[in-house]
């Protein structure tokens, strides 16, 4: 049984579908190979980076970011990715310095992203330069990159903590110097969705340059802030597999892709069924484990436990799943134990070779509760098994009616 119900989406409460709330198309930039490698416990080999890039490309992201300035190995990886003939654009991420831009040129990159802080705290304590120097450096770097024919995004690092007037000034300066895109990162994940919305709207009203969203998850608001920025007119969103990144990371690819499809009904040309596999690939290559509670790709995303839930999902999983597990390459399972209802108890008896009746099934649920062992075991649900559960349930119901 699969849940084939169209989602009577919650967004009906938010807006009318005919309203064009997002830009007509939104692009995804995946930065697992740049921001993701900044996560503790994550370091890829050249071969792994290439493989991840291939798979992300096949999944359908539009841009893949890597930082060639980190090490020779990263530079080699960047070169190899550029030669691999992927459909996604490869973006070389670097500082706003001519010597870094030279590395990208050496790699034969056509897209670069260069970053420069804009908040006073970064200017004063990280770079130890004045606002004026920051503008001069940024403009010089953009001009240098453009004079070499590069397409470029300019990242205004720590944009959300910068003085709004200075942020605006920087955005105008880099736009006038020729930046093709700008990124307004919430570097510390401190924004509220409404704040992010307003910030993007204001900058969008000042410059024509398309805007990227790069939202960190320090307060768990990365997805909400990314969507708020897109609703305000941003056309590209940065993600990473499982949300890997510096500290608590940024918005996960799976969540963004699914939210765009399910909430905004956007026709993204991506292979959703690869999401779980992408997450597993990263787990295999790193010492980080995907949290079980991770939306869509986590081990618990499709585990059902309460008896009332299970009784409903075997008839129609949409009762407790907003999207079927196979859409994202995950699997449904049920937990049998203390919270089991009559259906599972009967099914358990059936599995053990007994012929369950309603009364015994009820006794068994009581027994399971009194055991006080919590979860007894987990059962991965194949379609065949679901059918069987329904049969068992129908049988005991028939007996009850007799
Ligand atoms: C960093 C900076 C960055 C840049 C984002 C971007 C951030 O980690 O050094 O280029 O859009 O979060 O500000 O990741
Ligand atoms: Cu970041």
Gap from CA of 187 to ligand 2 centroid (Å): 5
Are both 120 and 252 inside the same structural domain? yes
Residues 6+ apart with CB under 8 A from 232: 196, 197, 198, 199, 200, 201, 204
Give the model's confidence band at 381: pLDDT under 50 very low, under 70 low, under 90 confident, else very high.
confident
Read off the pLDDT of each residue in 287-313 and give the average, rounded to a whole number. 95
Is the pLDDT assigned to residue 250 strictly greater than 70?
yes
Structural domain that includes position 190: 17-285
Q: Does 150 lie in the same domain as 217?
A: yes
- Please indicate whether residue 374 or residue 257 has the higher confidence score (pLDDT): 257
The residue whose CA is least distant from atom 4 of ligand 1 is 157
- With a 6 A CB cut-off, is 393 part of the ligand 1 pocket? no
Q: According to the model, what pLDDT value does residue 103 have?
A: 98
In a domain, 225, yes or no: yes
Positive or negative: CA dihedral 135, 141, 146, 150: negative
pLDDT given at position 210: 98
- Tell me which of 179-188, 205-214, 218-227, 363-372 is least confident: 363-372
* 272 and 310 inside one domain: no
Backbone angles phi, psi at 43, to 5 degrees: -155, 125
User: Does a structural domain hold residue 171?
Assistant: yes
Atom of ligand 1 lying closest to residue 38 CA: 8
For residues 301 and 291, is the Cβ–Cβ distance under 8 A? no
| 65 C-beta closer than 6 A to ligand 1 | no
Q: Quick one: average pLDDT of 59-77?
A: 98
Does 132 score more than 80 pLDDT? yes
- pLDDT at 351 (0 to 100): 87
322 is a domain residue: yes
State if residue 37 touches ligand 1 by the CB under 6 angstroms criterion: no
Residue 194 lies in a domain: yes
113 lines ligand 1 (CB under 6 A): yes
pLDDT, mean over the chain: 93
E strands in 230-269: 236-239
What average pLDDT score do residues 362-380 get? Answer: 89
Over its C-alpha atoms, the chain yields an Rg (Å, rounded) of 25
Residue pLDDT, tens place only, 202-245: 999 999 999 999 999 999 999 999 999 999 999 999 999 999 99
pLDDT computed for residue 263 by the predictor = 87
Give the C-alpha separation, 188 to 247, whole Å. 9
Domain-located, residue 10? no
* Residue 249 near residue 243 (C-beta atoms within 8 A): yes
Q: Which residue has the higher pLDDT, 58 or 368?
A: 58
250 and 368 within one domain: no
156 lies in the same domain as 201: yes
Residue that is last in its domain, among 251, 285, 319: 285
Domain shared by 331 and 277, yes or no: no
Q: Which of 214, 235, 238, 247 to mutate to test the pocket of ligand 1 (most atoms within 8 A of CB)?
A: 214
* Final residue in a domain of this structure, among 226, 254, 285: 285
Residues 258 and 312 in one domain: no
- Strand 236-239 to 303-304 pairing: unpaired
pLDDT mean over 305-315: 91
With a 6 Å cutoff on the Cβ, whether 187 touches ligand 1 is yes
**Residues above pLDDT 90, as percent of the chain:** 78
pLDDT the model gives residue 5: 46
| Closest atom, ligand 1, to C-alpha of 212 | 11
Residues 81 and 206 in one domain: yes
Where does the pLDDT of residue 142 fall: very low under 50, low under 70, confident under 90, or very high at 90 and above?
very high
Report yes or no on 296 lying in a domain.
Answer: no
- Say how many domains are in the chain: 2
Q: Are residues 28 and 104 in the same domain?
A: yes
Both 378 and 236 in one domain: the answer is: no
Q: How confident is the model at residue 10 (pLDDT cuts 50, 70, 90)?
A: very low
Domain boundary residue among 285, 311, 341? 285
Q: Is residue 127 part of a domain?
A: yes
pLDDT at 20: 63
Q: Which of 40-44, 112-116, 314-318 has the lowest mean pLDDT?
A: 314-318
Q: What residues are neighbours of ligand 2 (ion), with CB under 5 Å?
A: 35
Domain for residue 111, yes or no? yes
The pTM of this model reads 0.94
Instruction: List, edge to edge, every strand of the sheet that includes 375-380.
Output: 303-304, 333-337, 375-380
CATH code, domain carrying 190 = 3.20.20.70
Q: Is 2's pLDDT higher than 60? A: no
Cα distance between residue 24 and residue 264, in whole Å: 11
Ligand closest to CA 248 = 2
Rounded to whole angstroms, the Cα distance separating 276 from 206 reads 40
Predicted pLDDT at 1: 42
In the predicted structure, residue 56 carries a pLDDT above the cut 60? yes
The closest residue, in CA terms, to atom 6 on ligand 1 is 155
Note whether 170 and 311 are same-domain residues. no
Same domain, residue pair 209 and 94: yes
Mean pLDDT of 333-347: 90
């Amino acid at each position: 049984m699969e849940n084939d119900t169209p989602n009577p989406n919650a967004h009906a409460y938010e807006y009318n579908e005919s309203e064009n709330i997002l830009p007509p198309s939104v692009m995804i930039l995946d930065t697992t190979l740049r921001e993701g490698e900044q996560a503790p416990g994550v370091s890829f080999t050249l071969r792994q980076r290439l493989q991840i890039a291939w798979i992300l490309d096949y999944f359908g992201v539009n841009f893949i970011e890597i930082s060639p300035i980190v090490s020779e190995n990263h530079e080699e990886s960047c070169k190899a990715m550029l030669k691999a003939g992927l459909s996604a654009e490869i973006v070389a991420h670097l500082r706003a310095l001519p010597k870094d831009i030279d590395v990208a040129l050496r790699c034969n990159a056509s897209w670069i992203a260069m970053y420069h802080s804009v908040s006073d705290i970064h200017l004063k304590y990280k770079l130890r330069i004045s606002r004026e120097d920051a503008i001069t450096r940024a403009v010089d770097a953009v001009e240098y990159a453009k004079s070499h024919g590069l397409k470029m995004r300019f990242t205004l690092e720590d944009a959300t903590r910068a003085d709004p007037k200075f942020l605006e000034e920087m955005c105008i300066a880099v736009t006038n110097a020729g930046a093709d895109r700008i990124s307004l990162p919430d570097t510390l994940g401190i924004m509220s969705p409404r704040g992010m919305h307003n910030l993007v709207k204001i900058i969008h009203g000042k410059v024509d340059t398309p805007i990227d969203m790069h939202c960190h998850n320090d307060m768990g608001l990365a997805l909400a802030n990314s969507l708020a920025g897109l609703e305000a007119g941003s056309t590209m969103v940065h993600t990473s597999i499982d949300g890997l990144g510096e500290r608590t990371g940024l918005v996960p690819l799976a969540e963004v892709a699914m939210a765009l499809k399910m909430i905004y009904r956007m026709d993204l040309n991506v292979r959703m069924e690869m999401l779980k596999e992408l997450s597993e690939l990263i787990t295999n290559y790193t010492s980080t484990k995907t949290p079980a509670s991770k939306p869509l790709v986590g081990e618990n995303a499709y585990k059902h436990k309460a008896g009332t839930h299970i009784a409903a999902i075997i008839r129609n999983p949409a009762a407790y799943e907003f999207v079927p597990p196979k859409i994202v390459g995950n699997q449904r399972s049920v937990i049998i134990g203390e919270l089991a209802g009559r259906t599972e108890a009967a099914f358990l008896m059936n599995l053990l070779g007994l012929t369950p009746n309603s009364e015994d099934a009820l006794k068994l649920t009581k027994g399971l509760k009194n055991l006080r062992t919590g979860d007894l075991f987990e059962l991965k649900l194949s379609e065949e098994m679901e059918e069987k559960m329904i049969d068992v349930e129908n049988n005991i119901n028939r007996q009850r009616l007799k």
